[in-house]
Amino acid sequence: MAFYAENERPAALPPADRGENGKYEYVIMPSAARRRVDLPAPEPGRRPRGRGVISTVVLAFCCAMLGSLVTLTLAPVIFDGARTVDGGSGGGNSVTIQQVGAVGGADLAIGESPIVAVAEAVGETVVGIANFQHLRSWFSGGELTEVSSGSGFIIDAEGGYIVTNNHVVENAEDLIISLADGRDVQGFVVGGDARTDLAVVKIEEAEGLRAATLGDSSVLRAGQYVVAIGNPGGTEFARTVTWGIISATDRFLQLEGEASFKLIQTDAAINPGNSGGPLVNFDGQVIGINSAKNQAFGYEGMGFAIPISDALPVITQLLENGRVRHPALEIRIDERYNEAYASYKDWPEGCYVSSVVVKGGADRAGIREGDIIVAINGEKVENSLKLSHLLFTRKPGDVVEVEYYRSGKTYMTEVTLGEIVDE
């Protein structure tokens, strides 16, 4: 199974796996033999003339009255359920959807999907982002060329601030932001962070903008309805609306940036160009930032989004400082250490320490090369992905309790986290 960020395209797709038989067989079991059985003819009886007609009329009248009573009794229940959407009810030709945030109080015609209100309200906050760079080639002549495009959404209308994925704006020499009102304006990167795949962009022409309403992704449950809005394929398909459900809320991907989060998995269609766009609940609140999808051959309906509640601290740092400070144990991990090797050596699952930064937090706490980190603050660490996620929720200077394995014994120590410094 392979995962790619939205602006990444694999050179070749792997062949599809086939089963042992290579085909399916459908077997219909023969049913028991049936034969017609003649029923005995009713015995003739004698009825007085005239009574049959009167009885038939009386019976028909009674049935009609009974049917009317049943209809009057059940109809209010049936139609009330049909015209109530998301807890709202109404009369006449409209339905009031009880929403909060961006969508509140939208009226829909009978039979109209609640997604209409979400799309109309949130669509105004979604932008297209075109990344231009100088490409030195015989064909481009060194001119600025659009190398990729993606999506974003306005988080601060007055300031003109937009949230998107870092890979959408990475290495951009020029950014063109396409607004919902048809304007194309200049944008520039306030700050980007590859480790979380998040970025903030600013535009100066902030008149008439509308900001998205943010929700709480920590309360999401599998099965909830969601709407994805973005620009798959660029501005030609601007603000495309797709919908589906939350398939899971705790997925890890081995992608730089995405590894920091427990991602939201959804079956709402997410395509190249959707990156950075919002994933929205039926209250019109942004609960995720679309970032990646499973593009492996044979897989459909597996898109992923960064939870907005987890992303917000990063976004805040980018707005305030233009950069993000990431905590570190100040050790290096040998990624070759896996479950199979641990089982062979009869060692626990965890992260194998290949080296320790001299005078770093782990060094001062007594952790040494060859130790295996098995838990942080009592939460099990199976691999480096889990370790990255657990540390992401902390900040430099925090103290964490580290459980590690050495020479057949388990030890506990407290480590003051340092800071990752990019070279």
Q: What is the largest CA-CA distance in the chain?
A: 114
The structure tokens 């980190």 sit at 373
Of 331, 322, 394, 318, nearest in space to 365 by CA: 331
| Cα 263 from Cα 310, distance rounded (Å) | 10
> Which residue numbers are catalytic?
167, 197, 275
